[in-house]
């Protein structure tokens, strides 16, 4: 599927429909969304703001490198991060020259601040724990002053941070945009509300989609920080009790809600999740998914198979391909319900 190569607004996005029961495929546009759902349904969105997670770095040798933040480990001084060699997103990550190897205890300059490598992951030496040697105020200031949103080679122009935020972003937990929600502006959200659809939020620190390091990429998705509030649990329970369907806006919402229901019952939960959803997983909470169109090879496609059969999904994607739908984070949308 051809990738959308620049940010696109609500009005430009098409919507591929896939009926979970029948496998029927249909074509719509995003503005049709309110007419495709029912009063009493609940849309659950991810209110994580997208971090400027790509930071310039200097290695102990003096060589330039790029640090990509994965998730905060505390109030902003400690982070899990991935190291990439010199260069930027214009070179596909898998073709980037590998960085010089790090060792625990190494001192780096990251976003202009002194930082220390406190631990290396067993997955790959490029996945590491980082400690800024400043207070949290200074660390956040440096991240926002020097950081840029993570982006990939299929989007040639540099992205502004506001082009990768949702219209309801509340706290900066996401290494990459929770992209399914980015085209949902308040006009569309208000139309859903007017239709009788409920809105609720969880927070999930959506992680990296690719690093170019085969060992890390094989381990994706990495554990992510998440929070499902008591208010979200109440909204889900009320919707289900009234016969409404719970529609997750993005796969990060599926991961958060299903993680919070790991005990069998949905509970207010805050922590980290390593739940990986794929073929054979039976969702306990989520009835439908509003998401983007991504490469069939990605972990995204594996998660979709918890909602529809592989053959149905392949048929839907073939239909989208023939119909000229666009893929990736600024691509067209997909409603599986």
Partner 1 sequence: MSLNAIVTGASRGLGRALAVELARTGAQVVLVARESEELHAAVAEIRAAGGKAHAVAADVGDKEAIHQIAGAAAGLVGPIDLLVHNASTLGPTPLKLLLDTECEDFERVLQVNLVGPFRLSKAIAGGMALRGRGTIVHVSSDAATSAYPRWGAYGVSKAALDHLGRSWAAELGELGVRVLVVDPGEMDTAMHADAMPEADRTTLARPEAAAHRILVRIFEPAFENGARVAIGGGS
Residues that bind partner 1 (CB under 8 A): 45, 47, 49, 51-52, 72, 75-76, 136-137, 140-141, 143-145, 161-162, 165-172, 186, 199, 201, 231
Distance between CA atoms of residues 269 and 191, nearest Å: 30
Using CA atoms of 87, 85, 136, 118 in order, give the dihedral in degrees to the nearest 10: 180
Tokens 């949103």 belong to residue = 149
Provide the minimum distance between the beta carbon of 172 and partner 1 in the complex, in angstroms, as a whole number: 5
Task: Decide: helix, strand or coil at residue 166.
Answer: coil
Of 199 and 215, which has the nearer Cβ to partner 1? 199
Of 6 and 230, which has the nearer Cβ to partner 1? 230
* DSSP H/E element including 201: strand 198-204
Of 140 and 281, which has the nearer Cβ to partner 1? 140
Of 1 and 49, which has the nearer Cβ to partner 1? 49
Cα 266 from chain centre: 22
Provide the minimum distance between the beta carbon of 173 and partner 1 in the complex, in angstroms, as a whole number: 9
Q: How many helices (H) and strands (E) does the chain have?
A: 7, 17
Of 144 and 196, which has the nearer Cβ to partner 1? 144
Of 146 and 284, which has the nearer Cβ to partner 1? 146
Positive or negative: CA dihedral 18, 302, 164, 171: positive
Provide the minimum distance between the beta carbon of 303 and partner 1 in the complex, in angstroms, as a whole number: 24
* Tokens describing residue 54: 């790509």
Distance between CA atoms of residues 120 and 126, nearest Å: 7
Distance between CA atoms of residues 132 and 168, nearest Å: 29
Provide the minimum distance between the beta carbon of 21 and partner 1 in the complex, in angstroms, as a whole number: 30
Contact between 279 and 303 under an 8 Å Cβ cutoff? The reply is: no
Provide the minimum distance between the beta carbon of 157 and partner 1 in the complex, in angstroms, as a whole number: 17
Provide the minimum distance between the beta carbon of 154 and partner 1 in the complex, in angstroms, as a whole number: 24
């Amino acid at each position: 599927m051809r990738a959308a190569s620049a940010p696109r607004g609500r009005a430009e996005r098409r919507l591929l429909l896939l009926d979970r029961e029948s496998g029927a495929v249909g074509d719509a546009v995003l503005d049709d969304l309110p007419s495709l759902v029912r009063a009493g349904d609940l849309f659950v969105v991810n209110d994580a703001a997208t971090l400027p997670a790509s930071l310039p770095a200097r290695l102990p040798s003096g060589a330039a490198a790029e640090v990509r933040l994965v998730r905060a480990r505390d109030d902003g001084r400690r982070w899990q991060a991935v190291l990439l060699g010199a260069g930027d997103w214009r070179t596909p990550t898998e073709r980037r020259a590998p960085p010089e190897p790090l060792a625990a205890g190494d001192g780096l300059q990251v976003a202009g601040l002194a930082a220390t490598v406190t631990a290396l992951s067993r997955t790959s030496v490029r996945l590491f724990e980082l400690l800024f040697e400043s207070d949290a105020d200074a660390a956040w200031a440096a991240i926002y002053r020097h950081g840029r949103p993570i982006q990939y080679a299929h989007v040639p122009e540099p992205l502004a941070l506001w082009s990768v935020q949702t219209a309801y972003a509340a706290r900066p937990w996401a290494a990459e945009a929770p992209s399914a929600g980015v085209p949902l502006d308040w006009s569309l959200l208000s139309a859903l509300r007017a239709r009788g659809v409920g809105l609720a939020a969880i927070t999930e620190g959506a992680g990296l989609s690719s690093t170019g390091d085969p060992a890390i990429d094989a381990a994706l998705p990495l554990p992510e920080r998440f929070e499902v509030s008591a208010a979200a649990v109440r909204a889900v329970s009320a919707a289900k009790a009234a016969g409404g369907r719970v529609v997750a806006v993005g796969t990060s919402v599926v991961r958060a809600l299903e993680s919070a229901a790991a005990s069998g019952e949905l509970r207010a939960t805050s922590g980290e999740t390593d739940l990986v959803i794929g073929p054979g997983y039976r969702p306990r909470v989520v009835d439908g998914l509003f998401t983007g169109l991504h490469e069939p090879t990605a972990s995204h496609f594996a998660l979709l198979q918890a909602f529809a059969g592989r053959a149905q999904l392949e048929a839907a994607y073939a239909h989208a391909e023939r119909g000229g739908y666009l893929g990736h984070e600024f691509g067209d949308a997909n409603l599986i319900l």
